[in-house]
Amino acid sequence: MKNVIKSMLLVVMICLAGKMMAAEPIVLNSPNGKLRMTFRLSQNGEPTYQLEYKGKTVIRPSHLGLELKDVHDLQRGFTIKKSTISTFDETWQPVWGETRKIRNHYNEVFVELSQESEERGLNIRFRLYDDGLGFRYEFPLSKNLNYFVIKEEHSQFAMSGDNTAWWIPADYDTQEYNYTESKLSEIREKLPHAYDNNASQTIAGPTCVQTSLQMKTPDGIYLNLHEAALVDYSCMHLNLDDKNMVFESFLTPDARGDKGYLQAPCKSPWRTIIVSDDARDMLSSNLILNLNDPCKLKDTSWIHPVKYVGVWWEMINGMSQWSYTWDLPSVKLDAIDYTKVKPHGKHGANNENVRKYIDFAAANGFDQVLVEGWNIGWEDWFGHEKDDVFDFVTPYPDFDIKALNEYAHSKGVKLLMHHETSGSVRNYERHMEAAYDLMNKYGYDAVKSGYVGNILPRGEHHYGQWMVNHYLYAVKEAAKHHIMVNAHEAVRPTGLCRTYPNLIGNEAARGTEYEAGAGNNVNHTTILPFTRLQGGPMDYTPGIFEMDMSKMNPQNHSHVNSTLARQLALYVTMYSPLQMAADLVENYRKHMAAFQFIKDVAVDWDDSRYLEAEPGQYITVARKAKNSDKWFVGCTAGEKGHVSKLHLDFLDKGRQYVATIYADAKDADYRKNPQAYVISKKTVTARSVLTLRAAAGGGYAISIMPK
Amino acid sequence: MKNVIKSMLLVVMICLAGKMMAAEPIVLNSPNGKLRMTFRLSQNGEPTYQLEYKGKTVIRPSHLGLELKDVHDLQRGFTIKKSTISTFDETWQPVWGETRKIRNHYNEVFVELSQESEERGLNIRFRLYDDGLGFRYEFPLSKNLNYFVIKEEHSQFAMSGDNTAWWIPADYDTQEYNYTESKLSEIREKLPHAYDNNASQTIAGPTCVQTSLQMKTPDGIYLNLHEAALVDYSCMHLNLDDKNMVFESFLTPDARGDKGYLQAPCKSPWRTIIVSDDARDMLSSNLILNLNDPCKLKDTSWIHPVKYVGVWWEMINGMSQWSYTWDLPSVKLDAIDYTKVKPHGKHGANNENVRKYIDFAAANGFDQVLVEGWNIGWEDWFGHEKDDVFDFVTPYPDFDIKALNEYAHSKGVKLLMHHETSGSVRNYERHMEAAYDLMNKYGYDAVKSGYVGNILPRGEHHYGQWMVNHYLYAVKEAAKHHIMVNAHEAVRPTGLCRTYPNLIGNEAARGTEYEAGAGNNVNHTTILPFTRLQGGPMDYTPGIFEMDMSKMNPQNHSHVNSTLARQLALYVTMYSPLQMAADLVENYRKHMAAFQFIKDVAVDWDDSRYLEAEPGQYITVARKAKNSDKWFVGCTAGEKGHVSKLHLDFLDKGRQYVATIYADAKDADYRKNPQAYVISKKTVTARSVLTLRAAAGGGYAISIMPK
């Protein structure tokens, strides 16, 4: 982001007349005029906004404000002191991303409110883009607003009707649920059945859902509610008043039930509303990235996309283990000499196995090899809320950290570090410097971190301010060591990767790992880009070729709900600068022709075109690889399958390309015949139109190379 | 402690017959036979012990056990699997202490209990010394005892009658209270009036008191209840059943109300009962040190006693400020350029003032100069539960850290570092390595740390397991940097300075600082050695010569409840290897003849003789300076004053000494005439008998130098 290009910067300052009448509205239009936001104070001085799209109401009049602890609320009794309208337009360049350049163009109104009885102010900043609205609270330092504790944030989003929603239950500790598609009015009834068990979970309430929340109005307008730039604040959830169809924010509590500790001057994260009548616009929106601060890292030359394989899926499906021995029901790290214990012989992170993955990575052009379970402590790492659970620096006896890194480097490959914290974050922070130093010493430059289980300090939640603060601390400290972070079980992303582009990945949703257990809904990957991916890339770990887990572990009868062709498509539909080919080397070796797509596909892009999209049904996207003329297309489909008629008009005019199409075979079916695929090649141009069929739970992938 | 001398080690192993009848008691005698402990299981298999001293019951039959969370309790249903009696006798040498050598001589019984219905065990280890009993729980790893959560520890101490007690209310966050002397039966009535306000306080209950608790039975036996070796466990308090006169333990809760998170095999701290019919034995007891592990530091050559002055009392009494400016009601450390703000001119830690203290320290043989308020952030450091409150490395503009350290070193003096955390321990731990590095860089080797205010993570208490873990972490990390620690507002000490002798001081009681505010009871220093000092030395900061605070700060009308002579005595009566001369240079300059005692007095000792003692009334002690023939005597008295008839038979026979006596003048009185003292010299021998009088709230100090 060092090459930010300010193509245009027009700031029009219009200071409206001093104090305004409550009834006098402030109107803000988006640059193209299709969105209109109206702000006013209600009779009792309550801040209220509404939003229209092409003349239709998408957010009915909704109140804004906060409830504080031990003092009067910041909800009513306001007068408008001043409001300032301005315009901003710049084009900036992300370090990595879906497009080479991103335009950040909005009209803004900054409303300065005064609560005179309390001798303090509250400001609200609205930014209206062509693709949606962002607003945030700003807390000016005042006589009676300095240090304060938030009891609750009450930001409303009043829906225009009984929308269809793709939602997961609000939970303070996990997002790893399948999505439920329902009317808003059905949430209460469906919520008790909308989740399964998780290592740490705290369901918030009967009508409470998480963001990013994707909706569609009865008249076909798509609406997405989320937040941007979640920094030093608790993560927001939404509670639905299902009589009036009004969502209201609530925050993740801390151990005492408080919602946030703030020090003025400060600001809340942005609350975001992405709006369009074309579902594809939801996916191409950069509103959330644009609402984040520009890159704060001076040097980003060490940040790069990563395509990787790893010693991981074999533990997930139960073939091998993270642990080294069965003999230690209770581990105290300092007290055990692992060279003296009896190995169980199922330890995945052993020298031989890791070398096999290094060889495979090197032979097939992968950047890195993830190895989980390399460090001591996995015998009792989970479920005990154990404080000193890992030291992050001591390998098991059969993992020669020096030799393996040297071997990898000799083949042009790096190892990818793994730091599972087991939720014990004081322990992680105490060891963090030594852990990052170790990475620097052996030449690791990326870490997958994990926060499985309940948080220590006990009583804190994964999504509270305490942990939000920790996750960013880990990313900032990593940056000092030129280390990229891929945090799992952390808070869902909110576009912070713009500001800290070494945050190259997150989990924060139900990933492929569940396919080796309870399973993912067949349409899961047609929803995630509308929801979870709004905030930033996901380390979804696609690329499973063997859908039948019992082939690897006879005790495991899980089945991956996808065709093989769709697994290829996910490298394009699930945008991420960090992509894993998650399956075993042995499974890839049986399908090297299909694997060619994973070898070829890029992980960083000059351009992205969303060609078709409907949440829960299908997504088709074409992307142009960075600094290249190669294009890649992916389509993922749900239960009904999908037929595409693709116009390749994004290709250079007059140029010939070779398209290699990896498609479901005619008899493909995600349940019964997932490995049935057909690979075909044809010459295409910008005038070509391809008709392609995705099976139920299927999809297709296309590489398009200039001739 | 590297020179531990094992003078004698007799271990007699008597394995009693396998399983025992519930009625069959195990009897353990102390080496001199005066104490007898009897252990048995009650009818329902409940562990029960009692204690007799010279044939009199001091602890009636009392139950032992723990209540666990989510599983059956560890309280009853036990059988005795095995019990092992042994004897231990060794003499060890502390790095610093009241005596050059300490004898550790006890008889032990290790009782292995089995709770067969739960397939788990619980062991209790009793050590009976001539001066008291220690016992602890040991949790062997069993099928159903691995990771477990303590709901409560129920260790009883059934009193033999309505003892007199010197107590403070149980509180999870502070011990900074005056002691109340009362019958046990009066605690309930007096407790509501037994405390004043503190920066962080959580009173536990109407009949709950803290340890170390000093008592005296109606028949004149002194009894002290405390704990030893508090490591990775929550601090214990005592709840009195005041109908039956039974104390029962309860632990400090965490944010969720749980009391402890343990992983077997592990053990509780020792619960200690010191017993004697001579009050002086309570003070000379080493039972708590002996129950701690031997020194774990390999090299202790860098650890040394410290006599210091400092820039501190002037802030405590309000003459000057820790802060630098009035202009910052809300500080964000990264956002403020302190060179641009307007100084208020009252900042104590300025170059000129610090140089004055360095000069004074050098001229009078002090080792170090404490400077508080040297680092940025003091403008809003307190009362906000602020996370990023200090960085521990950035000085105010008027504190030239490099130049001042160089100046001090050029005069043979060191500066003493100050780390106030404001209770924000995540912040402290994040900066700890850099903070200790800074100390190493500039040549500091000791730090006074502070934990004023509520703890972050919020919901944790100063005395819970989380914080107990932190305090020791800070001490261990400091040891790696060869740094000595003097922690204020930390958990009360339990003899850990034997194991980690770089822990040279603690506060954990009401110190001299209160004399500049609400005041200390006049007999406070006649109680502290019986209570607070049982666990380790206190940084009491004596040496106040000007008792009238308004002389320094006209707004402050506090008065120190002591005569000047008694202030000298405290350097002897309040044993500590770390002693401050706390008053202002200006006040000492007015009384340089009296100040001579503070210059002369040692802070490390070959021998200590408690000559007279009665809690709440008087303590007189003589100590022989380490590697020297000099003796120092101190006497502190309460409201009634005290007359001593001192036999100097501890002196070398046939040798002549010059005794310099710093005594209250005849008209001295702590309220009206505190500065009236008389200094006299006389030649003394081992046959001399001195009759000396301490005024009300007075005392005397004597230096005895060989001729």
Tens-place pLDDT, residues B193-228: 999 999 999 999 999 999 999 999 999 999 999 999
- Opening angle at CA A696, ends A693 and A699, nearest 5: 50
Cβ B382 vs Cβ B452: under 8 Å: yes
Sign of the torsion angle spanned by Cα atoms A54, A59, A65, A69: negative
A70 touches chain B (CB under 8 A): no
B513 is catalytic: yes
Asked if residue B701 has pLDDT above 80, the reply is yes
Tens-place pLDDT, residues A93-127: 999 999 999 999 999 999 999 998 888 999 999 99
Rounded to the nearest angstrom, the gap between the alpha carbon of residue A121 and the centroid of all alpha carbons in its chain is: 34
Cross-chain residue pair B147–A458, CB shorter than 8 Å: no
User: How far is A386 from chain B, CA to nearest CA, in Å?
Assistant: 8
With 0-12 / 13-18 / 19 or more C-beta atoms within 10 angstroms meaning exposed / middle / buried, residue A34 is middle
Full DSSP string of A93-118? --SS-SSS-EEEEEEEEEEEEEEGGG
Cross-chain residue pair B430–A429, CB shorter than 8 Å: yes
A405 or A117: which leads in pLDDT: A405
B22 or A468: which leads in pLDDT: A468
Instruction: List b or e across A634-645, with b for residues whose CB sees 16 or more CB atoms inside 10 angstroms.
Output: bbbbbeebbebe
A263 touches chain B (CB under 8 A): yes
Which of A152, A181, A372, A513 does the annotation list as catalytic?
Answer: A513
Instruction: Give CA–CA dist A84/A13, Å, rounded.
Output: 6
User: How far is A9 from chain B, CA to nearest CA, in Å?
Assistant: 27
User: How far is A402 from chain B, CA to nearest CA, in Å?
Assistant: 26
Rounded to the nearest angstrom, the gap between the alpha carbon of residue B384 and the centroid of all alpha carbons in its chain is: 28
Q: Which value does ipTM take for this structure?
A: 0.94
User: How far is B148 from chain A, CA to nearest CA, in Å?
Assistant: 8
Instruction: Give CA–CA dist A63/A122, Å, rounded.
Output: 14
**Count of positions (residues) in chain A:** 707
**B contact test, residue of A145, A263, A296 with most B CBs within 10 A:** A263
Among B146, B258, B330, beta carbon nearest to A329: B146
Instruction: Give CA–CA dist B559/A63, Å, rounded.
Output: 56
Q: Which residues of A touch B145 (CB under 8 A)?
A: none
Q: Which residues of B touch A147 (CB under 8 A)?
A: 330, 380, 384-386
Closest CA to B34 of B125, B83, B107, B84: B107
Full DSSP string of B556-621? ---B-SS-HHHHHHHHHHS--SEEE--S-HHHHHTTHHHHHHHHH--SSEEEEEEEEEETTTEEEE
DSSP state of B428: H
Q: How much is the pLDDT for A24?
A: 82
Residue of A nearest to B265 (CA): A330
Instruction: Give CA–CA dist A411/B604, Å, rounded.
Output: 63
**A contact test, residue of B147, B149, B472 with most A CBs within 10 A:** B147
Residue of A nearest to B380 (CA): A147
Mean pLDDT of chain B: 95
Instruction: Give CA–CA dist B172/B236, Å, rounded.
Output: 10
The pair of three-digit structure tokens given for residue B134, joined into one six-digit string: 């220690």
- Opening angle at CA B289, ends B286 and B294, nearest 5: 135
What percentage of chain B reaches a pLDDT higher than 90?
A: 95
Helix, strand, coil proportions of chain A in percent (round to 5)?
A: 20, 35, 45
pLDDT band at A32 (very low <50, low <70, confident <90, very high): very high
Tens-place pLDDT, residues A144-177: 999 999 999 999 999 999 999 999 999 999 999 9
Cross-chain residue pair B384–A433, CB shorter than 8 Å: no
B626-631 long-range contacts, CB within 8 A, separation 24+: B626/B100, B626/B602, B628/B602, B629/B655, B629/B705, B629/B706, B630/B600, B630/B602, B630/B703, B630/B704, B630/B705, B630/B706, B631/B657, B631/B702, B631/B703, B631/B704
Q: Which residues of A touch B429 (CB under 8 A)?
A: 426, 429-430
Cβ A371 vs Cβ A408: under 8 Å: no
Cβ B220 vs Cβ B277: under 8 Å: yes
| Count of C-beta atoms within a 10 Å radius of residue B123 | 19
The pair of three-digit structure tokens given for residue A592, joined into one six-digit string: 């090297």
With 0-12 / 13-18 / 19 or more C-beta atoms within 10 angstroms meaning exposed / middle / buried, residue B691 is exposed
DSSP bridge partners of A157: A247
Among A256, A329, A473, beta carbon nearest to B458: A256
The dihedrals phi and psi of B465, each to the nearest 5 degrees, come to -60, -40
Q: How much is the pLDDT for A117?
A: 87
Q: How much is the pLDDT for A23?
A: 55
| Count of C-beta atoms within a 10 Å radius of residue A390 | 23
Cross-chain residue pair A258–B458, CB shorter than 8 Å: yes
Residues 6+ apart with CB under 8 A from B480: B436
Q: Which residues of B touch A330 (CB under 8 A)?
A: 141, 146-147, 263-265
The phi-psi region of residue B676 (left if phi > 0; otherwise alpha if psi is between -120 and 50; otherwise beta) is beta
Full DSSP string of A194-251? S----SS--B--TTEEESSEEEE-TTS-EEEEEEE---SSPPEEEEEETTTTEEEEEE
Cβ B155 vs Cβ B245: under 8 Å: no
Strand pairing report for A246-251 and A213-216: unpaired
Most distant pair of Cα atoms in chain B: their distance: 79
Secondary structure (3-state) at B103? strand
Question: Which amino acid makes up residue A541?
Answer: T
Among A254, A255, A330, beta carbon nearest to B264: A330
Instruction: Give CA–CA dist A590/A453, Å, rounded.
Output: 36
Instruction: Give CA–CA dist A296/B259, Å, rounded.
Output: 43
- Secondary structure of B148-211 as H, E, C letters: EEEEEECCEEEECCCCEEEECECECCCCCCCCEEEEHHHHHHHHHHCCCCCCCCCECCCCEEEC
Residue of A nearest to B426 (CA): A426
A144 touches chain B (CB under 8 A): no
CA distance from start to end of chain A = 33
B430 touches chain A (CB under 8 A): yes
Instruction: Give CA–CA dist A239/A236, Å, rounded.
Output: 10
Question: Which amino acid makes up residue B368?
Answer: Q
Among A147, A261, A459, beta carbon nearest to B255: A459
Asked if residue B473 has pLDDT above 80, the reply is yes
**A contact test, residue of B143, B149, B263 with most A CBs within 10 A:** B263
Tens-place pLDDT, residues B339-352: 999 999 999 999 99
Q: How much is the pLDDT for B652?
A: 98
Among B258, B433, B458, beta carbon nearest to A254: B458
As separate numbers, helices (DSSP H) first and strands (DSSP E) second, chain B gives 12, 37
Q: How much is the pLDDT for A118?
A: 87
Cross-chain residue pair B256–A459, CB shorter than 8 Å: yes
A429 touches chain B (CB under 8 A): yes
Q: Which residues of B touch A431 (CB under 8 A)?
A: none
B327 touches chain A (CB under 8 A): no
User: How far is B222 from chain A, CA to nearest CA, in Å?
Assistant: 40
Q: Which residues of B touch A264 (CB under 8 A)?
A: 330
Question: Which amino acid makes up residue A58?
Answer: V
Tens-place pLDDT, residues A62-77: 999 999 997 789 999 9
Q: Which residues of B touch A434 (CB under 8 A)?
A: none
Q: Which residues of A touch B332 (CB under 8 A)?
A: 263
Full DSSP string of A603-645? SSEEEEEEEEEETTTEEEEEEEETTSS-EEEEEEE-TT-EEEE
Closest CA to B157 of B267, B32, B261, B64: B64
Q: From residue B696, give the alpha-carbon distance in Å to each of A119, A448, B177, B564, B668.
A: 53, 68, 21, 12, 8
Which residues 368-397 on chain B approach chain A with CB closer than 8 angstroms? 380, 384-387
Among B258, B385, B459, beta carbon nearest to A261: B385
B459 touches chain A (CB under 8 A): yes
The phi-psi region of residue B312 (left if phi > 0; otherwise alpha if psi is between -120 and 50; otherwise beta) is alpha
Cβ A418 vs Cβ A371: under 8 Å: yes
A425-443: average pLDDT: 98
Tens-place pLDDT, residues A243-288: 999 999 999 999 999 999 999 999 999 999 999 999 999 999 999 9
A256 touches chain B (CB under 8 A): yes
Rounded to the nearest angstrom, the gap between the alpha carbon of residue B499 and the centroid of all alpha carbons in its chain is: 15
- Please state whether the predicted TM-score (pTM) of the whole model is above 0.90: yes
Cβ A662 vs Cβ A543: under 8 Å: no
Instruction: Give CA–CA dist B304/B300, Å, rounded.
Output: 9
Asked if residue A5 has pLDDT above 50, the reply is no
B222-237: average pLDDT: 98
B140 touches chain A (CB under 8 A): no
A473 touches chain B (CB under 8 A): yes
Closest CA to B45 of B23, B62, B15: B23
pLDDT band at A596 (very low <50, low <70, confident <90, very high): very high
Cβ B54 vs Cβ B277: under 8 Å: yes
Cβ B701 vs Cβ B680: under 8 Å: no
User: How far is B457 from chain A, CA to nearest CA, in Å?
Assistant: 7
Q: How much is the pLDDT for B9?
A: 37
The pair of three-digit structure tokens given for residue B364, joined into one six-digit string: 């009078």
Instruction: Give CA–CA dist A453/B175, Å, rounded.
Output: 36
Asked if residue B451 has pLDDT above 80, the reply is yes
Among B255, B329, B426, beta carbon nearest to A256: B255
pLDDT band at B23 (very low <50, low <70, confident <90, very high): low
Cis before A457? omega within 30: yes
| Count of C-beta atoms within a 10 Å radius of residue A301 | 9
Among A146, A380, A385, beta carbon nearest to B330: A146
Determine the angle formed by the axes of helices A592-600 and A564-573, rounding to 10 degrees.
0
Which of B248, B314, B507, B513 does the annotation list as catalytic?
Answer: B513
Q: How much is the pLDDT for B71?
A: 72
